[in-house]
Amino acid sequence: MSISEFTQADYEVIARDYADLKEAARKRCANQAELDVVQKAFEFANEAHKGVRRRSGEPYILHPIAVAKIVVSNIGLGYKSIAAALLHDVVEDTDYTVDDIRNLFGDKIASLVDGLTKIKTVLDNEDKAKQKSIQAENFKRILLTLNDDVRVVLIKLADRLHNCRTIEFMPEYKRDKILSETMFIFIPLAHRLGLYEVKSEMEDIWLRYKEPEVFNEITEKINRNISDREKEIDAFILPIDQALTAAGFNFEIRKRVKTPYSIWHKMVTKNITFDQIYDLYAVRIIFTPSSGSVESERDQCYHVFSIITGIYRYKSDRIRDWVKHPKNNGYEALHCTVMSHSGIWIEVQIRTTRMNDIAEKGIAAHWAYKKDGFTGENDSEMDKWISKVKEILVDPDVNALELLDIIHNDLTSTDIFVFTPKGDQRRIQKGATALDFAYSIHTEIGNKAIAAKVNMKLVPLSYELRTGDQVEIITAENEKPKREWLQFLQTRKARNIVMDYLRGERQESIRIGRKMVEEQLGSIGRKADEETLNALMDGYEIFERNPDELYFRVGIGILRLNNLEEIVRSGYAKAEKSRSWNFNWFRGKDKKNSYIIDDINDTGHRYVIATCCNPIPGDSVVGFLASDGTITVHKKSCPVANGIAAKHGDRIVVPEWKSGEVQSAFLVRLSLKGFDRLGIINEISRYISLVMSVNIRRFYLGTEGGVFEGYIDLYVHDKEDLEKLVRKLNKIEGIQSVVRSDL
């Protein structure tokens, strides 16, 4: 921020932006008195921030105005939240206090501003020595406000969205930190609170900066497709419009295209190309249920579905009934994918006006309907989740970093529905086992479980449940929890019960864990000395700095040693010196802290290519400096990298690829799909090896019914070589798609 006199142009921009906010607020405020509070808050904040500019050079007051506009337009909050958004930086950045806000605007607005100020104070604290897990503590503070007023979290989400919108003005190291935090916590939080617009915009901004080439390419393809398909979509909608009108429905139809991030995410997770995404387009039907109809709101959704599927053929495996079984963020809708008369697949989303309000505005709309007396059978899901989070937050045994992981996992998990032997339906997280189900019923049933029957068939307790399973737990009176259960339990409740039981045997667990660690270290030629144990505690994020805690976690089975050798990094120095690609590294705070690391000149620093994402020269990358001086290089879009940056932003360094004198090769995987024909495997391998002179490490293709699918692991020099190879392979007869995928 900087201080300077405002120009006439600055005052005009401020007036224009506030006029837009005031118009949006006018529609949300119940009366003139509420609008007057918004006006008063603007005038106070405008005066407090007078002459102050942001990094971009624009007047600072434009930021709180923008946050307030998101609060009212995207989230649907009322005048107190709008006022708090306008005032949210005043206490932190000026001489005014919370008491000043309270005297002028009352207790509730002051309380909201105070909550936001406390979050900001922790977030902006640069004294990392005082608090190693400062980012985790920040997120804990954010979530703790759920105990007081969820509106603080919602305003904070609006603040984060606007910071993302203006992220181009931040230095790259800080940009990486903010975007990683956003993906790790804020985007899942927006999703869980039902804020679809906020979530989608943050996802697209994340992709634009993490994978800029991919974002631009997908955006261009979307724009081309829209112009090509516009008339076809209109032709598709026309008979639906006519049929629903004839049936007497009061409705509107909206057109929608998948966002660039959702397309990219589907391409990456499904190993497909842009052209293979068949639900690129969606048509949303929003209708007002007839109060005089004998059909319920849910039945009227099914009625609309029957009309549409009477016109178009639908894909039976693409029906998503979130009317009967809403998502755990309260989302309700009926989705189906149908084939247009012109031959393109189109997703149709069917919602009532209430369902649409909740889908667009999330928790704010949910509470508004609840306040107005609308009590549907699905209304309690969001309230249940908030209550569950509150229980986690007050658990004294959970430190900030553990909390961050717990909340992240909870935010990103999805639920399935299973049945008891008597046919009662129960919700449980996807991936849960039969033993998780046992503990969800009662602690003693879980503690005494020995096996389960799923759909009348005997299965082990580790069996992963699927939607629709009927589950019966078999118990034995003398059974008790076992360490090995922690290897497959998925739900926090079940794991905590077992861990609490095992804590009573702590010393025995420490002894077992010490033996396991020492044996694993011995197998790679290392001893459990202080340096090695410190490296392990760093790598496994054990901030108690007590080896017994490391041994205990290993002993009871919650910490596996699969990547112990990678963490200890023995042997990396010798292996990495043979690489010819090196980096310029910049610390990123200021020039005094900048430094260059050159492994060829043996400055004592080593870099490691992360095996989770295997970046190659040309990829957008981010680095993390470990306590032993080793720097691990990840792709910017790597989920592991996002998790590290969200918790340890002070470790971020910014790399640049620079070519060395000797060419080296980097391992990548290409996933292939196509039509099988005689000799195609020989043609592919011959082209890669002989024509492109690329070394193949592994080649697997499986064929079934005339179609092949598989992958090739090979070595390339850089991204340019890889893209050239992909283009050439796509020209081979029979190949339908070639995409880079995870190893």
The 10s digit of each residue's pLDDT in 4-62 is 688 899 999 999 999 999 999 998 898 999 999 999 999 999 999 998 988 888 999 99
Domains and CATH numbers, the chain: 2-169 (1.10.3210.10), 212-371 (3.30.460.10), 413-502 (3.10.20.30), 504-568 (no CATH), 572-658 (no CATH), 666-741 (3.30.70.260)
| Residue 605: predicted pLDDT | 54
Q: What is the pTM of this model?
A: 0.73
The 10s digit of each residue's pLDDT in 226-256 is 888 888 899 999 999 999 999 999 999 999 8
| Residue 95: predicted pLDDT | 86
Give the alpha-carbon dihedral of 81, 84, 89, 91, to 10 degrees.
-150
In this predicted structure, which of 12-26, 430-444, 572-586 has the lowest mean pLDDT? 572-586
Percentage of the chain with pLDDT > 90? 30
> What secondary structure does DSSP assign to 130-198, as a single string?
T-TTHHHHHHHHHHHHHHH-HHHHHHHHHHHHHHHHTGGGS-HHHHHHHHHHIIIIIHHHHHHTT-HHH
Could you give the 3-state DSSP secondary structure of residue 388? helix
Could you give the 3-state DSSP secondary structure of residue 392? helix
Give the alpha-carbon dihedral of 510, 512, 517, 518, to 10 degrees.
110
Residue 386: CB atoms within 10 A of its CB come to 15
| Residue 701: predicted pLDDT | 82
Gap between the Cα atoms of 740 and 743, Å rounded: 9
First-last CA distance in the chain: 44
pLDDT band for 463, please (50, 70, 90 cuts): very high
Give the alpha-carbon dihedral of 70, 73, 78, 83, to 10 degrees.
40
Cite the active site residues: 92-93
Gap between the Cα atoms of 426 and 206, Å rounded: 36
Above 80 in pLDDT, residue 541?
no
* Torsions phi, psi for 411 (to 5 deg): -65, -35
As a whole number, mean pLDDT of residues 557-575 equals: 63
| Residue 192: predicted pLDDT | 79
| Residue 252: predicted pLDDT | 95
Residue 101 half-sphere exposure, CB side, CA atoms within 13 Å?
31
As a whole number, mean pLDDT of residues 582-611 equals: 47
Spatial neighbors of 119 by CB under 8 A, at least 6 apart, are 138, 141, 142, 145, 152, 156
The 10s digit of each residue's pLDDT in 261-316 is 999 999 988 888 888 887 788 899 999 998 776 678 889 999 999 999 999 999 88
Above 50 in pLDDT, residue 590?
no
List the structure tokens of 329: 């963020």
pLDDT band for 595, please (50, 70, 90 cuts): very low
DSSP 463: P
Q: Which helix (DSSP H) or strand (DSSP E) does residue 409 occupy? A: helix 400-412
Tell which residue, 317, 329, 326, 398, has the closest CA to residue 362: 329
Above 80 in pLDDT, residue 116?
yes
pLDDT band for 129, please (50, 70, 90 cuts): very low
- State the residue for tokens 């506030």: 18
Task: Please state, rounded to an integer, the average pLDDT across all residues of the chain.
Answer: 81
Cα-based distances in Å from 399 to 365, 393, 505: 33, 9, 22
| Residue 600: predicted pLDDT | 38
More confident residue, 729 or 608: 729
In this predicted structure, which of 49-53, 276-280, 405-409, 432-436 has the lowest mean pLDDT? 405-409
Could you give the 3-state DSSP secondary structure of residue 15? helix
The 10s digit of each residue's pLDDT in 357-401 is 888 877 777 666 666 555 554 455 566 666 666 666 655 555 555
| Residue 465: predicted pLDDT | 93
pLDDT band for 407, please (50, 70, 90 cuts): low
| Residue 577: predicted pLDDT | 37
List the structure tokens of 660: 């060395």
| Residue 576: predicted pLDDT | 41
The 10s digit of each residue's pLDDT in 146-173 is 556 778 888 989 999 999 999 998 888 8
Residue 594 half-sphere exposure, CB side, CA atoms within 13 Å?
10
